[in-house]
Amino acid sequence: KEEKASIETELKKFADKDEKPSGDWDTRFPKFDATNLEEAANEVEEYSTLLGLEYNLEDRLKEINSALEKIGKGEYGKCEKCGKDIAQERLKVYPAAKLCLGCQGK
């Protein structure tokens, strides 16, 4: 839950949460002076960078939400492919892991 809050805090710095049920985020487009082409180019470049970051953070947030859902159902820590327990060491490093190392490597 701490990682989820951390990601949402980071997203709030440059994006707004969509009102739709999907709960996706939308990177805010910069408001720049159209008469200053250099500033406009820099703003568009920064927007592109933030858009990529938004997609990455949204993916992580979805993985975390999925893991939290599994915890609620008592299914957390089970490999989605083979059904075996995912090693605790793996879950400590990557709490949203869906596959055990054996299945991940296949």
Residue 79 has pLDDT above 70, yes or no: yes
pLDDT tens-digit series, residues 47-75 = 999 999 999 999 999 999 999 999 999 99
pLDDT by residue (tens digit) across 10-24? 999 988 888 776 778
Mean pLDDT score of the chain = 89
Using alpha carbons only, how large is the chain's radius of gyration in Å? 18
Closest CA to 63 of 97, 91, 93, 88: 97
- Domain range summary for the chain, segments of one domain joined by +: 2-75, 77-106
Contact of 81 with 104, CB cutoff 8 Å: no
Tell me what the mean pLDDT of segment 31-60 comes to. 87
